[in-house]
Amino acid sequence: PLPIADRCWSLLSPDGDTYVSEPPAAPLTTADGVPLKVSLRRTVRRSKIKALLLVAPLLVFLFIAFLMPLFEMLWRSVDNPEVSTHLSRTVSALEGWNGESLPDEAVFAALAEDLREGQQERNLGLLSSRLNYEKSGMRSTISRTARRVGTLEPPYRESLIEVNDTWGELDTWKLIQREASPYTVSYYLAAMDRQLSPDGEIVKVPEYMQIHATLFWRTLWMSAVITGLTLVLGFPVAFLLANLPMRHSNLLMILVLLPFWTSLLVRTTTWIAILQSQGVLNDVMVALGVIADEARWQMIHNKMGTIIAMTHILLPFMILPLYSVMKTIPPSYMRAARSLGGKPFLSFRRVYFPLTIPGIAAGGILVFILSIGYYITPALVGGQSGRFITNYIAYHMQTSLNWGLAAAIASILLFVVIICYLVFNRLIGVDKVKLG
């Protein structure tokens, strides 16, 4: 037989004694002589490049508008450049300090030089604010010392302590040494009402300062309550939408979609007019004799106002996923259950309700995540007891200017949402969610 490497077909001659071979057929080519396989590979490659170019603007937009701010937020939550930048000489002089007694004269001299330079360049504001986050009073200490540092004479240790007693406290120098690192977890600890002690241990902040952990729990349970209320109120509406005649269901659908055509700010302020003590609802109940005029209900600027207003605003986000699933359930299923002897409630519980689980899951996760991140409505109608953690993110961004703490709180909120999503995927499965 002929070798396989010859790549020819071996056939017996008609007399059965000798072998003959014939060459393989020529490879298929295109009209211009290019092998068909090569031409197909080029075509597929060109198609992929065209598809990539089509989606490239969207990818660039997502990177600039979503991923970059997200990375910036995560970075800012651990970024800690103030001490290492503005007290560089002091940080270098503190290397090797045992922390058991006040630093030596060289460290105080380095501090005086750093403060003198910072006063000349007018850049001590960030430094004083950063240290003040960790120890109250450091802003005034640095400002007062910087104003007088130009008149100080050696020995700087006694001079600085004379200007402000804070420089004679061991905790102050431990704080500077600890915050000299370019990265910190202090913002995350503060977001959970914790802080680092002078010895580096994690401890709770004083009780009058404990607010963020309470706000996290309040945000989660109020979001769960709002999700449950939208389900209770939205399920019957979605059922009617799916089973009414077309002319009636279209009218009801318009009423469901009508809030989307109205400004969120207008809807929220309308609830203020309805729920306040001298509002429409209280006036109607007083006129009907349900309550006395001097016993009007306070339904605004508290948790009740936030729950009522947000339930109304987020109700369409529950109705629409439910409707999209219920519309696909054949009415014959319920008729078959009734014909088999099932009572109405039993037929609903055993046949109809399980088929609506994908819609409930989609509406529930959508409303819950939207509730966690809401800001305008709790700020307007929540008062002190109905505000969410998002309102304090805005406070730290706009008022206290503690952007690191705001970024840490927002990062924790992001992690909470991711955990909720993973738990939801584990228990129900994202593949079962239907939004339309």
Q: Is the peptide bond before 155 cis (omega within 30 degrees of 0)?
A: yes
Which residues fall within 8 angstroms of residue 381, CB to CB, at 6 or more apart?
268, 271, 272, 275, 300, 301, 305, 306, 309
CB atoms within 10 A of CB 135: 19
Q: In the 8-state DSSP scheme, what is residue 181?
A: S
Taking the chain, what is the end-to-end CA distance rounded to the nearest angstrom?
66
CB atoms within 10 A of CB 365: 20
User: Which amino acid, residue 360?
Assistant: I
Type and span of the H or E element at 143: helix 138-148
pLDDT digits (tens, 9 = 90+) for 280-321: 888 888 998 888 888 888 888 899 999 999 999 999 999 999
The answer to whether 81 and 182 are in contact (CB under 8 A) is yes
Residue with tokens 């393989």: 24
The answer to whether 195 and 179 are in contact (CB under 8 A) is no
The Cα–Cα gap between 205 and 76 comes to 22
pTM of the predicted model as reported, rounded to 2 decimal places: 0.82
Which residues fall within 8 angstroms of residue 73, CB to CB, at 6 or more apart?
407, 410, 411
The answer to whether 313 and 426 are in contact (CB under 8 A) is no
The Cα–Cα gap between 131 and 186 comes to 11
Give the 3-state DSSP-derived string for 410-422, with helices as H, strands as E and coil as C. Answer: HHHHHHHHHHHHH
Q: Is 162 left (phi over 0), alpha (psi -120 to 50) or beta?
A: alpha
Type and span of the H or E element at 355: helix 353-355
The Cα–Cα gap between 303 and 383 comes to 8
The Cα–Cα gap between 358 and 433 comes to 5
The Cα–Cα gap between 35 and 26 comes to 10
* Strand pairing category for 19-22 and 9-12: antiparallel
Of 28, 24, 26, nearest to 10 by C-alpha is 24
The Cα–Cα gap between 36 and 30 comes to 6
CB atoms within 10 A of CB 148: 15
Per-residue pLDDT in tens (0 to 9) along the chain, 436 residues: 444 444 444 445 555 555 555 555 667 777 777 787 888 888 899 999 999 999 999 999 999 998 999 999 999 999 999 999 999 999 999 998 988 899 999 999 999 999 999 999 988 999 999 999 999 899 999 999 999 998 888 889 999 999 999 999 999 999 999 999 999 999 999 999 999 888 888 999 888 888 999 999 999 999 999 999 999 999 999 999 988 888 888 888 888 888 888 888 888 888 988 988 888 888 888 998 888 888 888 888 899 999 999 999 999 999 999 998 898 888 888 888 888 887 888 888 888 888 898 889 889 988 999 999 888 899 889 888 888 999 999 999 988 889 999 999 999 999 988 988 888 888 777 666 655 5
Q: Is 213 left (phi over 0), alpha (psi -120 to 50) or beta?
A: alpha
The Cα–Cα gap between 146 and 115 comes to 5
pLDDT digits (tens, 9 = 90+) for 146-171: 999 988 888 899 999 999 999 999 99
Q: What is the DSSP string of 118-134?
A: HHHHT--HHHHHHHHHH
